[in-house]
Amino acid sequence: MAVTVFQQQLRDRFLAATVTAPPSPWQPVGPGMIPVGGLLGIGFATDPATGGDLVLVVSGSGHGLFDATTGERLAREYDPDEEPDGPDLACPGIGPVADVRVPVAGLHGGGLHTGTDDGWHVEVVVPEWPNERVLLCTGRGPYEGAHGETWWQVFHSSWSTFRAAGFSPSGRTMAVATSSDLTLWTRPGPPGR
């Protein structure tokens, strides 16, 4: 199957882009990547006390719950009763969300929100398989605008296996998960939230 001129131009555009910080109002959470060996998937929950975003991480050595605005680990379960299952790949929460089932996206399927109510969206591209690149976009992103104007390559998974990328349901947190780490960005709540 032949590659079209447009497809080749897109591939070249993605390969030429460097990893850059997302624009304001997005800010990195903590010092950057949170190491999580054997990461299988992630899901979002809402802190019942604050209304803030929480991230549930499922790994080969158990489950961990992180505050999405600080990166602080809030709870850890080394031997969970249940792994993600069912049509939404949900599993029981831990710590402050122990009474909630959390849908998980990652190695075994599922998905995170790929867009926000106020126009941000995430695209995962693979111009050089098997290394995924995660783009944060506005408008039509890389299809009409320039890198650093309507899209930003915020992550290049060249050292670990990509698992998932997307937003929390609130739209205040963006996450990228690989087999070895979790990277988070946060922002103030979108208008109307």
- Residue-level pLDDT at 190: 52
- Please tell me the distance from the alpha carbon of residue 94 to that of residue 77, in angstroms, as a whole number: 7
- Please tell me the distance from the alpha carbon of residue 113 to that of residue 189, in angstroms, as a whole number: 16
pLDDT tens readout for residues 27-46: 999 878 999 999 999 999 99
Alpha-carbon dihedral 66, 72, 78, 84, rounded to 10 degrees = 10
pLDDT tens readout for residues 103-150: 999 998 999 999 999 999 999 999 999 999 999 999 988 988 899 999
Residue linked to tokens 């959390």 = 102
- Residue-level pLDDT at 36: 95
Find the farthest-apart pair of alpha carbons in the chain and give their distance in angstroms, rounded.
55
| Residue 132, CB-side half-sphere exposure with 13 Å CA sphere | 15
| C-alpha pair distances (Å), 3 with each of 6, 10, 130 | 8, 11, 18
Residue 133 phi, psi dihedral angles, 5° rounding: -125, 135
Structural tokens at position 79: 């031997």
pLDDT at 191 exceeding the cut of 90: no
Please tell me the pTM assigned to this model: 0.93
pLDDT tens readout for residues 61-105: 999 999 999 999 999 999 887 778 778 789 999 999 999 999 999
Confidence of residue 3 (pLDDT cuts 50, 70, 90): confident
